[in-house]
Amino acid sequence: MLTDPLLKIRQEFCIKCYSCVRICPVNAIRVDVNSEFPSIIPERCIGCGSCYRACSPGAIIYRSSIEETKILLSSGQKVAAICDPMISGEFHDITDYRKFVEMIRQLGFSLVSETSFGVDLVARKYKEIFNNFKGKYHISANCPSVVAFIEKYYPELITNLAPIVSPMVATAKVIRQKYGPDIKIVFIGPCIATKDEALKFEGDARIDAVLTFVELRQLFTMFNIRESQLEFSDFDPPYGFKGNLYPISNGILQCVDINENLLTGNVITSEGRHNMLNSVKEFDSGIEMIKRHFNIFYDDGCLMGPGTSAGGEKFVRMSLVVDYANKRQNTVDNTTWNTDISSCENIDLSRQFLADDQRLPIPPEEKIDEILKMIKREGEKDNEVGCETCGYTNCREFAIAISQGLATTDMCHVFSRRNRQEYIKTLRTTNEKLARIKVALKESEEKAKQEQEAQKETGDIISTMLQKLLSGVVIVDEKLKIVQSNNAFIRILGEEASMVDEVIPGLAGADLKALLPIHIYKMFSYVLATDEPIENKDVQHEDNKISVSIFPIRSHKYVGAILRDMYAPEVRKEQIVKRLTEVIDESFDTVQKIAYLLGEGAAKTEQMLNSVIESHKNPTKS
Q: pLDDT tens for residues 158-209?
A: 999 999 999 999 999 999 999 999 999 999 999 999 999 999 999 999 999 9
Last residue of a domain, one of 526, 552, 567: 567
Shared domain check, 265 and 159: yes
Give the chain's count of helices (H) and strands (E).
22, 15
Q: What is the pLDDT of residue 538?
A: 86
Residues above pLDDT 70, as percent of the chain: 86
Shared domain check, 144 and 123: yes
The model's pTM is: 0.68
- What whole-number distance in Å separates Cα of residue 622 and Cα of residue 620? 6
Sequence-ordered list of residues with C-beta below 8 angstroms from that of 260, at least 6 positions apart, any chain:
250, 253, 254, 267, 269
Task: State pLDDT tens for residues 392-423.
Answer: 777 888 888 888 877 777 777 666 666 666 65
Which H or E run contains 187? strand 184-189
Q: What rounded mean pLDDT belongs to the chain?
A: 86
- What whole-number distance in Å separates Cα of residue 425 and Cα of residue 429? 6
Flag whether pLDDT at 435 surpasses 70.
yes
Nearest to 170 by CA among 251, 84, 64: 84
Nearest to 280 by CA among 85, 109, 143, 451: 143
Flag whether pLDDT at 99 surpasses 90.
yes
Shared domain check, 27 and 141: no
Task: State pLDDT tens for residues 445-494.
Answer: 888 888 787 777 776 777 777 777 778 898 999 999 998 888 888 888 88
Phi-psi label, residue 47: left if phi above 0, alpha if psi -120 to 50, beta otherwise? left
Q: What is the pLDDT of residue 378?
A: 64
Last residue of a domain, one of 377, 395, 411: 411
Shared domain check, 185 and 283: yes
The secondary structure of residue 364, as a DSSP letter, is P
The answer to whether residue 440 is domain-embedded is: no
Which H or E run contains 472? strand 472-476
Q: Where are the alpha helices (DSSP H) in 24-111?
A: 50-54, 66-73, 87-90, 97-106
Q: Is-cis flag, bond preceding 238, omega within 30?
A: yes
Shared domain check, 224 and 75: yes
Flag whether pLDDT at 212 surpasses 90.
yes
The answer to whether residue 37 is domain-embedded is: yes
- What whole-number distance in Å separates Cα of residue 237 and Cα of residue 114? 8
Task: State pLDDT tens for residues 260-272.
Answer: 999 999 999 999 9
Q: What is the pLDDT of residue 591?
A: 43
Q: What is the pLDDT of residue 611?
A: 54
Shared domain check, 327 and 393: no
Shared domain check, 334 and 257: yes
When pLDDT is averaged across residues 338-350 and rounded to a whole number, the result is: 95
Last residue of a domain, one of 9, 28, 63: 63
The answer to whether residue 431 is domain-embedded is: no
Domain that holds residue 581: 572-621
The answer to whether residue 407 is domain-embedded is: yes
Shared domain check, 287 and 375: no
Q: What is the pLDDT of residue 355?
A: 96
When pLDDT is averaged across residues 77-89 and rounded to a whole number, the result is: 96
- What whole-number distance in Å separates Cα of residue 562 and Cα of residue 554? 16
Phi, psi of 366 (to 5 degrees): -60, -40
Q: What is the CATH number of the domain that holds 57?
A: 3.30.70.20
Nearest to 24 by CA among 391, 398, 395: 391
When pLDDT is averaged across residues 93-121 and rounded to a whole number, the result is: 94
Domain tally, the chain: 5
The answer to whether residue 429 is domain-embedded is: no
Q: What is the CATH number of the domain that holds 481?
A: 3.30.450.20
Shared domain check, 401 and 485: no
Shared domain check, 319 and 334: yes
CB 85 within 8 A of CB 246: yes
The answer to whether residue 424 is domain-embedded is: no
Shared domain check, 522 and 589: no
For residue 380, CA distances in Å to 343, 373, 383, 463, 584 come to: 63, 11, 6, 82, 109
Q: What is the pLDDT of residue 418?
A: 63
Nearest to 116 by CA among 270, 321, 287: 321
* pLDDT range class, residue 116, cuts 50, 70, 90: very high
Flag whether pLDDT at 583 surpasses 70.
no
Q: What is the pLDDT of residue 139?
A: 97
Residue type, 67: E
Flag whether pLDDT at 219 surpasses 80.
yes
Shared domain check, 380 and 236: no
Q: What is the pLDDT of residue 21?
A: 87
The answer to whether residue 150 is domain-embedded is: yes
Which H or E run contains 531? none
- What whole-number distance in Å separates Cα of residue 318 and Cα of residue 302? 10
Residue type, 144: P
Sequence-ordered list of residues with C-beta below 8 angstroms from that of 104, at least 6 positions apart, any chain:
81, 83, 112, 188, 216
Q: Which residue has the higher pLDDT, 621 or 487?
A: 487
Q: What is the pLDDT of residue 622?
A: 43
- Cα Rg of the chain (Å, integer): 52
Task: State pLDDT tens for residues 367-387.
Answer: 887 778 777 666 555 555 566
Flag whether pLDDT at 616 surpasses 70.
no
Strand duo 267-271 + 7-9: pairing = unpaired
The answer to whether residue 264 is domain-embedded is: yes
When pLDDT is averaged across residues 270-277 and rounded to a whole number, the result is: 94
3-class secondary structure, 305: coil
Q: What is the pLDDT of residue 236?
A: 96
CB 144 within 8 A of CB 210: no
Q: What is the pLDDT of residue 459?
A: 67
Strand duo 544-554 + 534-541: pairing = antiparallel
* pLDDT range class, residue 578, cuts 50, 70, 90: low
Q: Which residue has the higher pLDDT, 16 or 194?
A: 194
Sequence-ordered list of residues with C-beta below 8 angstroms from that of 425, at least 6 positions apart, any chain:
none
Q: What is the pLDDT of residue 606?
A: 52
Q: What is the DSSP track for 31-43?
A: E-TT-SSEEE-TT
